[in-house]
């Protein structure tokens, strides 16, 4: 009789714990939907998304459990998306196979003579960088990387920080081998701005996160360039010097991993990252060192709610992490 009672008690406790867990995950799911404005077409889709959310939740917890990881993950608005879905709509760097032959910038960056490169740089502190933006569900990262680099160079020359129009690039640079929300390349964007004679301000030509008709208006021009410069491919020391002496630099990275999708804080180093298969354009705005670990300060375009207020610190001097030094360039103003 005593054994039967003990067995019944164990079953009841297990059942209560299971129900509590179900209620907890249900409450979390409802909070996730409300927090991120998630609306699904029907119950079938919602249950599908909920399963993805729970699996992502499990992976995030597993990653954070191990202290060896120098960075942490957190659930965010991308929690109901599969990795390939996420990459398709939130990345967008498209690098032609023969791109090294096609890079037709003004030339290659040469480090200035007799300049001592500082151990740390953060161009946000000097006024070179506009607030973090959000590309939303449009593969226009290349446009945000381009405007960020151009905004920095215009500030360097004029002392005025002007937010430039990504939508202008999305809508108008198709003839320069960009493809709007389906992807593009900062170098092509710089070529468009040079040939077009300018780019409109964000205020006059706001972002829509979709392909639209070109509406460039020269009277709303906020900036221009005369071409672009490449930084030596794969050379992190050269990239460091360029960032220190020029300003924010456009780069491409491999952003195809879930660890980046849910990055929260810390110095990011993904062992599976490729240094050649690049699919996302971002902006290097500085660099530094923390507890002996070198890092790049990188501005992303997934909103200020992602990462470290919209930024990520990526490992520096660790074999060109995620290809950050593979495709650097900046516009000439």
- Per-residue model confidence as pLDDT tens digits over 67-91: 678 899 999 999 999 998 998 888 8
Q: Indicate the angle between helix axes 186-196 and 141-158, nearest 10 degrees.
A: 50
Residue of 56, 91, 138, 141 with catalytic role: 141
Task: Identify the pLDDT of residue 16.
Answer: 43
Active site (annotated) includes residue 141: yes
Q: For residues 272 and 286, what is the distance between their CA atoms, to the nearest angstrom?
A: 24
Q: Output the furthest CA–CA distance in the chain (Å, rounded).
A: 90
Residue of 196, 269, 280, 322 with catalytic role: 280
Please state the φ and ψ torsions of residue 329, each to the nearest 5 degrees.
-160, 165
Residue of 56, 178, 300, 320 with catalytic role: 300
Of 210, 75, 70, the C-alpha closest to 140 is 210
Task: Identify the pLDDT of residue 10.
Answer: 47
Checking if the pLDDT of 205 tops 60, the result is yes
Q: How far is CA 166 from CA 2, 71, 119, 173, 268, in A?
A: 73, 30, 32, 11, 27
* Per-residue pLDDT tens over the stretch 286-318: 999 999 999 999 999 999 999 999 999 999 999
Of 286, 280, 226, 271, the C-alpha closest to 251 is 280
Q: For residues 267 and 69, what is the distance between their CA atoms, to the nearest angstrom?
A: 9
Q: For residues 254 and 278, what is the distance between their CA atoms, to the nearest angstrom?
A: 4
Contacts 24+ apart (CB under 8 A), 64-70: 69/266, 70/266, 70/267, 70/268, 70/269, 70/293, 70/315
Q: What is the pTM of this model?
A: 0.90
Active site (annotated) includes residue 98: no
Of 81, 85, 192, 146, the C-alpha closest to 301 is 146
* Per-residue pLDDT tens over the stretch 226-274: 999 999 999 999 999 999 999 999 999 999 999 999 999 999 999 999 9
Of 248, 251, 272, the C-alpha closest to 260 is 272
- Sign of the four-CA dihedral 125, 131, 136, 138: negative
Task: Identify the pLDDT of residue 23.
Answer: 55
Checking if the pLDDT of 175 tops 90, the result is yes
Paired tokens of 298: 């990188």
């Amino acid at each position: 009789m005593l054994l039967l009672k003990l067995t019944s008690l164990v079953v009841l406790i297990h059942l209560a714990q299971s129900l509590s867990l179900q209620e907890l995950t249900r409450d979390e799911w409802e909070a996730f939907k409300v927090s991120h404005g998630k609306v699904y077409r029907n119950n079938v889709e919602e249950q599908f998304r909920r399963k993805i959310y729970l699996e992502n939740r499990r992976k995030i917890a597993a990653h954070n459990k191990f202290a060896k990881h120098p960075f942490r993950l957190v659930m965010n608005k991308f929690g109901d998306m599969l990795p390939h879905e996420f990459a398709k709509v939130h990345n967008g760097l498209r690098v032609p196979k023969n791109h090294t032959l096609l890079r037709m910038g003004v030339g290659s960056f040469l480090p200035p003579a007799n300049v001592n490169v500082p151990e740390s740089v953060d161009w946000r502190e000097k006024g070179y960088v506009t607030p973090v933006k959000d590309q939303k569900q449009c593969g226009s990262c290349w446009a945000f990387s381009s405007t960020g680099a151009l905004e920095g160079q215009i500030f360097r020359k004029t002392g005025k920080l002007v937010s430039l129009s990504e939508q202008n690039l999305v809508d108008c640079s198709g003839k320069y081998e960009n493809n709007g929300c389906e992807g593009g390349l900062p170098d092509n964007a710089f070529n468009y701005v040079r040939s077009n004679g300018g780019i409109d301000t964000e205020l006059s030509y706001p972002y829509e996160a979709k392909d639209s008709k070109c509406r460039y208006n020269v009277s709303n021009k906020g900036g221009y360039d005369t071409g672009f410069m490449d930084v030596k491919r794969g050379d992190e020391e050269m990239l460091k010097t360029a960032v220190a002496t020029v300003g924010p630099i456009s780069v491409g990275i491999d952003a195809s991993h879930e660890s980046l999708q849910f990055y929260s804080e810390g110095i990011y180093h993904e062992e599976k990252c490729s240094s050649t298969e690049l699919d996302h354009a971002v902006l290097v705005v500085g660099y530094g060192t923390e507890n002996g670990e070198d890092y790049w300060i990188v501005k992303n375009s997934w909103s200020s709610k992602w990462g470290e207020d919209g930024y990520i610190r990526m490992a520096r001097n660790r074999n060109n992490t995620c290809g950050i030094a593979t495709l650097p360039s900046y516009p000439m103003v």
